[in-house]
Amino acid sequence: MKKSYRLLCLLCLLACLAGMGLSAPGQAEEMRYFMQSESEYASPTPYGSSAENGFYAKTADARIYYEVYRHSDEKAPWLLMLHGGGVGSAYELGGLADALRPRFNIVLMNTRGHGRSEIGATQMTFRQKADDAAAVARSVTGGKVRILGFSDGAYSAYALAIYYPELVERIVAIGAGTLEAGFFPPKLDLAALKKMDPEFFELQERIRPEPSRMEEFLNSYMAFWNRMSVNEEMLGKIAAPVLLVAGDRDDHAPPETMLRARSAMKNAQLLLVPGQGHMCFTRGLDIVKAAAVPFLTGQIPQERTE
């Protein structure tokens, strides 16, 4: 009886920790990204579920989760990595994080409403994305960061560069060109998404601090992006050097939108990864790494200075 009672208490404790969005000491979830298959790349590091490396930055209405992976060289530059949105996760950037850790101090952030970050109580705005990223950057470095963002994460990098230019040194922006309002649908069917990858959503329900609000968040998230436009005037405010990256078959950020973004920015270069779609950094990992490392370390000269 006593043994069964102790086991029940342990299970209750683990359930409470999971409900708080925390891991038991030394424990980490086995992570996966949305629609991951065995044939695609995946990192052995469970990014997004590290009891040892995880921290929180406090904003006005939410706690934003991030993980820090320090380089052995204290002088190595800081790189903030921002994942995609909706069904995005820090783990989807795992292959890139593994490839870049030999050169950088890495900060992997769960953007608001994703993974272990809270949803908050205020309406989603472009400025809010900048505020959240700024809170993490200041918590870790107190100064400038280099940024690699994918999709929603790349737009968050643009927002940070527009509203907090003093924090941004340079940006690699993957899959984020100009955007017209109405390009994305106003809603997504959560039940249909769960059928596409039940394992991913089972994991998300375990690690999210507010799993019951997942559908509410997804609806507000899509409503925001349905209304949102990112035009040349906005992108023209970005002073930091930017390396724009996209697959030449990207249906979220078609090549023509990437070309318009490059033309609008003061200091930008463009890489189109042949034969790849939106997640061009997976099967195109070697190509993206080969361009991102010299750009982020300042070894690629900037030709445009106007």
- The tens digit of pLDDT for each residue in 217-267 reads 999 999 999 999 999 999 999 999 999 999 999 999 999 999 999 999 999
**Which of 40-49, 116-125, 297-306 is the most confident on average?**
116-125
Cβ neighbors of 208 (< 8 A, separation 6 or more) are 21, 115, 116, 214
Distance CA 70, CA 78 (A): 9
Question: Structural domain tally of the chain?
Answer: 1
Q: What is the dihedral of CA 124, 278, 46, 156, to 10 degrees?
A: -30
pLDDT of residue 303: 55
Determine the average pLDDT of the residues in 129-143: 95
**Strand (E) or helix (H) holding 207:** helix 198-207
Residue 70 forms part of a structural domain? yes
> CA angle at residue 231 from 228 to 236, to 5 degrees?
135
Residue at 201 is within a domain:
no
What pTM was computed for the model?
0.89
* 28 — pLDDT class (breaks 50, 70, 90): low
Residue 15, pLDDT score: 35
pLDDT band at 7 (very low <50, low <70, confident <90, very high): very low
pLDDT score of 158 more than 50? yes
**pLDDT, position 243:** 98
Q: Out of 13-22, 213-222, 240-249, 283-292, pick the least confident.
A: 13-22
Q: For residue range 167-199, what is the model confidence (pLDDT) as tens digits?
A: 999 999 999 999 999 999 999 999 999 999 999
User: Does residue 40 form part of some domain?
Assistant: no
Task: Identify the three-state secondary structure at position 245.
Answer: strand
Give the pLDDT band of residue 38 (cuts 50, 70, 90).
low
Residue 88 domain-assigned (yes or no): yes
User: Is 94 contained in some domain?
Assistant: yes
Give, in order, the Cα–Cα distances in Å from 65 to each of 20, 112, 143, 207: 13, 8, 19, 11
Q: What mean pLDDT is predicted for residues 279-291?
A: 95
Annotate 119-128 with b (16+ C-beta within 10 A) or e (fewer): bbeeebebeb
Question: What is the pLDDT averaged over residues 269-294?
Answer: 96
Output the CA angle 25-26-27, nearest 5 degrees.
95
Give, in degrees to the nearest 5, the angle at Cα 277 between 199 and 293: 95
Flag whether pLDDT at 1 surpasses 60.
Answer: no
Average pLDDT score, the chain: 90
Q: What is the CATH number of the domain that holds 61?
A: 3.40.50.1820
Q: What is the mean pLDDT of residues 29-35?
A: 90
Placement of tokens 């997804």 in the chain: 218
Domain holding 150, by residue range, is: 48-181+229-296
Q: Is residue 269 in some structural domain? A: yes
Residue 117 domain flag: yes
Q: Identify whether 63 is part of a domain.
A: yes
Q: What span, in angstroms and rounded, lies between the C-alpha atoms of 136 and 147?
A: 12
For 41-90, how does the pLDDT look when each residue is reduced to its tens digit (9 = 90+)?
Answer: 789 999 999 889 999 999 999 999 999 999 999 899 999 999 999 999 99
Poorest-confidence range of 35-39, 280-284, 300-304?
A: 300-304
Q: Report the pLDDT averaged over residues 13-22.
A: 34
Measured CA to CA, the distance from residue 142 to residue 238 in angstroms comes to 21
- Region 112-127: mean pLDDT is 97
